[in-house]
């Protein structure tokens, strides 16, 4: 399977208000293996370059699973970054046009316990207090 992970973080090294978006693509047997491979790649990137220097914590916004590369173009995520009272807010739609060839997962939850799971609605607003996918702190 192919997995496209959509990640985000605030660049703490930049004094300006900002939000960085970062997709990652990997082939893996299942979502957990995909996330493990991506976490390893991000850790190596953080240690081997200054690209993620200001990334104290990286959030996983969504994960799209594909059985194979699509023959037609597939929009995997639409994102809008807007100002809010608490700073910048991220509004996203995963697989906004839908697809029979892809499955969308999201780790953003409105549940009190923050459980991750399948994203049936595929539309959410990022929450400031969500648990980080990867932390460099």
Condensed to tens digits (0 to 9), the pLDDT of residues 27-77 reads 999 999 999 999 999 999 999 999 999 999 999 989 999 999 999 999 999
Q: Give dist(CA 18, CA 81) in Å, integer.
A: 9
Confidence of residue 110 (pLDDT cuts 50, 70, 90): very low
Confidence of residue 107 (pLDDT cuts 50, 70, 90): low
Q: Give dist(CA 5, CA 22) in Å, integer.
A: 8
pLDDT at residue 120 in the model? 38
Q: Give dist(CA 129, CA 124) in Å, integer.
A: 14
Q: Cβ(8)–Cβ(42) under 8 Å?
A: no
């Amino acid at each position: 399977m192919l997995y496209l992970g959509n990640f985000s973080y605030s660049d703490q090294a930049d004094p300006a208000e900002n939000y960085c978006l970062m997709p990652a693509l990997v082939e893996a047997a299942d979502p957990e293996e995909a996330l493990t491979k991506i976490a390893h790649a991000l850790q190596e990137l953080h240690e081997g370059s200054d690209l993620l220097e200001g990334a104290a914590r990286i959030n996983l916004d969504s994960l799209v699973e594909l059985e194979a590369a699509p023959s037609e173009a597939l929009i995997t995520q639409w994102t809008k970054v807007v100002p809010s009272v608490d700073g910048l807010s991220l509004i996203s739609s995963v697989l906004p046009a839908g697809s029979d060839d892809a499955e969308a997962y999201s780790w953003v939850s409105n549940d009190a316990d923050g459980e991750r799971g399948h994203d049936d609605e595929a539309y959410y607003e990022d929450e400031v207090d969500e648990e980080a996918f990867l932390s460099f702190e």
